[in-house]
Amino acid sequence: MAKIKPQALLLQSKKKKGPARISLSTIISCNVIVILIVLSLYATYRHWYHRSNDQLDTDLEKFEHSEIFGESTRSDLPSYAIFSTAKGLITIELSKDSSRDVVDKFVDLCRKGYFKGMLFDHVIKNFVIQGAHSQRSGVAEDWIPKGKAHSRLGISPKHEAFVLGTRKPNKDSKEFELFITTAPIPDLNEKLTVFGRVIKGEDVVQEIEEVDTDEHYRPKSPVGIIDIALKQEA
């Protein structure tokens, strides 16, 4: 077997390629790129995190403002209405929470003087007294047959004696009529919206109830509302 000379072996070893060496500059560049990517992701996270918090704070401020404003508006409404009549004073506690829209309308009409001189045009003993400006047939009179027919029904707490209500809106009339019940009425839930109750002057209501009326329950001598005063305290 032929022997390979040492010089030939040395040349062959020089011809074999060793593993590629990574320069220091390449390593540094890669590390810098990784750091920049991490910093970019962190900055993006902080941006959206603060933006979300700012939006949450803004929404919370708006909510708190609306709550405060709503409470302020509700507290600005008067709590009591004092009816001055030819028979005396009737103090009504207004239901600002349960009948807010109706109370708003009632207060607005009071401030415009709408109820000044309004007559109790129909007075039905043991039932209701009705105040209205129009001279047409009384709504309360139309309710009597139904009330008599269903007198054995359970009493609705909404329509107990000495509550103030108005007829629910309908296409036939836009007039704001007033009704003060003089006895528990169980069957007017679909027709009457209660927005107050008498806390003083029940005797005045009963005195009005006792006036003489004709066959259509119209008082023979005019009796009505002289004016209505709005108060925060009774």
> Can you give the pLDDT at residue 163?
93
Q: How far apart are CA 107 and CA 156, in angstroms?
A: 26
Residue 210 bridge partners (DSSP): none
Asked whether the beta carbons of 205 and 216 are under 8 A apart, the reply is: no
Q: How far apart are CA 228 and CA 234, in angstroms?
A: 13
Per residue in 13-66, pLDDT (tens digit) is: 555 555 556 777 788 888 888 888 988 888 888 877 777 666 656 655 554 544
> Can you give the pLDDT at residue 155?
43
> Can you give the pLDDT at residue 80?
97
Of residues 159 and 132, the one with the higher pLDDT is: 132
> Can you give the pLDDT at residue 63?
47
Per residue in 71-90, pLDDT (tens digit) is: 434 568 899 999 999 999 99
Look at the chain and count its residues.
234
Q: Which two tokens stand for residue 126?
A: 């043991």
How high does pLDDT run on average in the chain? Answer: 78
Strands 192-200 and 163-167: antiparallel
Q: Give me the amino acid identity at 174.
A: K
Taking every pair of Cα atoms in the chain, the longest distance, rounded to a whole number of angstroms, is 151
Of residues 209 and 23, the one with the higher pLDDT is: 209
SS3 172: coil
Q: How far apart are CA 188 and CA 25, in angstroms?
A: 92
CA dihedral 150, 152, 154, 155 (to 10 degrees): 70
b/e map of 65-94 (b: 16 or more CB within 10 Å)?
eeeeeeeeeeeeebbbbbbebebeebbbeb
Q: How far apart are CA 141 and CA 171, in angstroms?
A: 19
Entry pTM: 0.62
> Can you give the pLDDT at residue 56?
57
Per residue in 116-126, pLDDT (tens digit) is: 999 999 999 99
* Interval 162-186 mean pLDDT: 84
Cβ partners under 8 Å of residue 197, min gap 6: 92, 93, 95, 162, 163, 164
Helix (H) or strand (E) holding 26: helix 24-76
Q: Which two tokens stand for residue 167?
A: 């007829």
* Interval 174-185 mean pLDDT: 88
